[in-house]
Structure 1
């Protein structure tokens, strides 16, 4: 990022003095938007407090409080003697159904996959139950490491009945692109998330130390008629991923 472009980005964070919201919250929200939109990416440097204060027209105390908000939220990290940096953590909203590749591109990362297994097989008992098909029924099992800018993010195993996708060769880089090409895009999904310790093999594949916690996710995706289209079993790096859900109050609550 060139110096002039960097200055323009951070100067645009200048709070609205007529807004009744505290200046430090306005600045924190604008910084959060830059990070969530991918304008600022993991590892990018945030200007020093003095420089950021000059660019945005607020005091260093205001800048410090804004940065503290985002450090607490896990969006920024501060290293003594080095400065403030955008965290490499990904905030993944649970309310949006999107393929990994599209999600990473929207954030400014280059997605890729390292295939571990891509073949036709008989459904395991767990796979059959999740898909609502008979045990040992023919399925495609697609297992790969998902990467962003070359860094391993997750191990993902997608399973789909062969009545929907006949051959593993139909899936190239994007599983959802293959589904779309066959008119099979899901309209909703259910996800179950739990934390556990990574196995030694998982830690090696994800380039993390062992023992380390990971996020295990089972997702079932549904077609408009309510039929389960696919089930995906994933292990995400807990040091890089936050899953976020928006909650709303009901009309009647205590």
Structure 2
């Protein structure tokens, strides 16, 4: 199970880490921490040193109720960061966390490797064709609604069944346009109650039937800290627990704020299947 990132084949049979780099002022955990160039480069250096295979850069906060950011502002935030990171770390494999095809195009053309779309093309109808033209790996996430509306009473008759149908349809559409490397993301916390999130986690292995790599992003999210009556800053241990469960159920990529601890999860989980 491999994906082609700028001509480099990445084997996802062994799980990999995607380190989160939010260059936004309002992300739920690290908003405002990585705005200046020096801060960005130091964080990327640390994540790469600790074992991250990918660095996921986002310039549009997708936390519930986040303010809308215009396309120009998103590009003005993210493109200089992509350029700066690749100048300092030319071998880095950058993932671009955006639902906008223009942002994706400019960043991939600047040297980024992956497009990570929370809307799976629903918020920009040009996204699938753009990714196909760019020949980039594509992460498609399941989300109900938009970041502004997704947590307003999300309901499902059978969430796993509905998500399988959603991904099957999206995968077929993407393949028909020529997208070759597809990764699915169940979208923990996106249009789902806490109960929905744990139901999806418990049935995560079901999504292996789609025969696509699975990305899991639960790092410090409310599905963890609300259960523990804590906060994002106190949710590292809970994140480690949930990441470990996800690995045992077939996760191929862990998207995390804390790379070192996630790498330890992978090393220990791999001892179960040497």
* TM-score of the superposed pair, with normalisation by structure 2: 0.27
Instruction: Name the one with the larger strand percent.
Output: 1
State the structure with bigger RCO (CA 8 A, min sep 6), 1 or 2: 2
Higher Cα Rg, which structure: 1
* TM-score of the superposed pair, with normalisation by structure 1: 0.28
Instruction: Name the one with the larger helix percent.
Output: 2
